[in-house]
Amino acid sequence: MDDWKQIELNDACSRLSSGKSISAKYVTSEGIYPIYGGNGIRGYTDIYNFDGECAIIGRQGAYCGNVRYFSGKAYMTEHAVVTCGNESSNTRFLAYLLSTMQLGRLSGQSAQPGLSVKTIGQQVIKLPPLKVQNIIADMLTALDEKIEVNESINKNLMEQALTLYTTHFTTLEKNGCIGDYCSIKSGFAFKSSWWTDSGIKVIKIGSINQDNLNLLECSYVDENKINKVNDFKVRAGDLLIAMTGATIGKFAMVPYSSETLLVNQRVGKFFLGNKPVEKLPFIYCTLKQPDVYYEIVNRGQGSAQPNISGSDIMSIPCVIPSKEAIDEFNCINQPLFDLIISNQRENQQLSKIRDTILPKLMSGELDVSDIDL
């Protein structure tokens, strides 16, 4: 590591500056180029002010300090800091490095809320030789690209299932409710004294993103408590839904995992039997219908803290075809959902590997200088 240099970020960049504001009349939902703001893509437009590769740092908003890599043409607004490498640095490497620096913590150092470009540029970084940067960037990119491929496959598989659902069921009148197909129950109210730094994973509301369950963001309880919460175990193919807070109505399936998983209170579990993936396709596609989803969200409103009960969800009207039609639909789509769940599991593993080696690569603890890619 003797050849690693400590320099200010400014000295590793050919550009470190924010974009420009864009008039609302140029913002559409169907433009050619993405518009990047402080929290990611905020719309599309037919004009662009950037062409190349860069790390984009969000300088304002809820995700202040977030970093993403971008390559192509886009419109960068005043809330996006464009960071491009120079002859001594790899731009993609800089994006990974910046993602480890928790830049959001610097927002309080500016007179105005948000991140100052000047403050960002003054941050001291450790920059390895360009060859090492290229190796690190290639290693991490390979992991991220495989994750993206799996996500793309899953999106296509889900679209196939939803198309089949639309073809068979959306023209039918609502003749039942979700409770006619399955029941739902909220998770366990764990005592504060049970929480530990390791042990059995507990899925909380924050772990549920739409169509994706993040098992890397779980809490833990002592393994000695497992006998008291057996009814709140989940398995691959189980369907979970957020029942409280800003994420109310978001749902995701449980990926294949060798770990024991439990659900916390206000995380609803749909009871689909001992082999949940066999009954998963129909209820999942039902919940994906806009009218059903919005009914869940709307029923949870009316108080400072959005909240919905299991009985409320079970009473929501939906199409309940004949048992034969449902069984046929589930049978056709089960292989698709099996693959989706497997891909989600692989992505969890790839993300864990990436997040484990990322700080070690950036600190030099993991030496890759002799690797020939």
pLDDT digits (tens, 9 = 90+) for 86-95: 999 999 999 9
Check if the beta carbon of residue 239 is closer than 8 Å to that of residue 255.
no
Q: State phi, psi for 25 to the nearest 5 degrees.
A: -70, -15
Q: What confidence score (pLDDT) does residue 113 get? A: 61
Give the lowest-confidence range in 61-65, 219-223, 354-358: 61-65
**Mean pLDDT over the full length of the chain:** 92
Query: Residue 17: is its pLDDT beyond 70?
Result: yes
Residue 38 banded pLDDT, cuts 50, 70, 90: confident
Domains of the chain in start order, with CATH, are 5-127 (3.90.220.20), 150-345 (3.90.220.20)
* Window from 31-45, 118-132, 302-316 with minimum mean pLDDT: 302-316
Residue 60 half-sphere exposure toward CB, CA atoms < 13 A: 15
- Measured CA to CA, the distance from residue 287 to residue 271 in angstroms comes to 15
Note the pLDDT of residue 306: 86
Amino acid, res. 283: I
pLDDT at position 332 is 97
Please tell me the predicted confidence (pLDDT) of residue 295. 94
pLDDT of residue 342: 94
Give φ, ψ of 27 to 5 degrees.
-95, 125
Q: Look at residue 212 in the predicted model and tell me its pLDDT.
A: 86
How confident is residue 302, by pLDDT bands cut at 50, 70 and 90? low
Predicted confidence band of residue 210 (pLDDT cuts 50, 70, 90)? confident
Name the token pair of 317.
Answer: 């009207």
pLDDT tens per residue across span 309-330: 999 999 999 999 999 999 999 9
Residue 143 pLDDT class (50, 70, 90 cuts): very high
Average pLDDT score over residue span 340-359: 95
| Confidence at residue 144, expressed as pLDDT on a 0 to 100 scale | 97
Q: What's the confidence (pLDDT) of residue 372?
A: 78
Task: Supply the pLDDT for residue 303.
Answer: 67
Helix, coil or strand: residue 314? helix
Q: Which of 106-110, 231-235, 305-309 has the lowest mean pLDDT?
A: 106-110
Three-class SS state of 9: helix
For residue 371, the model assigns a pLDDT of 83
